[in-house]
């Protein structure tokens, strides 16, 4: 998997996680639990992926620093 594919994948998963948290906060509706069951093995994998993607996206802060130094 190329670096660009990994970035798109992690960003997409993080957006799905953010939408799910928004649905929970505004409507008390958990989309992941609705689709895959409450704390089923599949929903746990999805929650784990969202967490790992969030950790990976922390590295994007270094990209911001690189953009500021090139300007």
Q: What is each CA distance from 49 to 6, 12, 25, 29, 70, in whole angstroms? A: 12, 11, 20, 20, 33
Q: pLDDT value at position 68?
A: 65
pLDDT above 70 for 12: yes
Q: pLDDT value at position 22?
A: 95
Name the token pair of 7.
Answer: 């970035």
Question: Could you tell me the residue ranges of all domains in the chain?
Answer: 7-70
pTM of the model: 0.77
Distance of CA 53 to the CA centre of its chain: 5
Structure confidence by residue, pLDDT tens digits, 44-65: 999 999 999 999 999 888 877 7
């Amino acid at each position: 998997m190329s670096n660009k594919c990994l970035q798109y994948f992690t960003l997409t998963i993080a957006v799905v996680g953010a939408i799910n948290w928004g649905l929970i906060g505004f409507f008390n509706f958990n989309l992941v639990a609705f689709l895959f069951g409450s704390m089923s093995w599949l929903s746990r994998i999805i929650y784990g992926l969202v967490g790992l993607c969030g950790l990976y996206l922390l590295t994007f802060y270094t990209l911001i620093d690189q953009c500021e130094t090139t300007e």
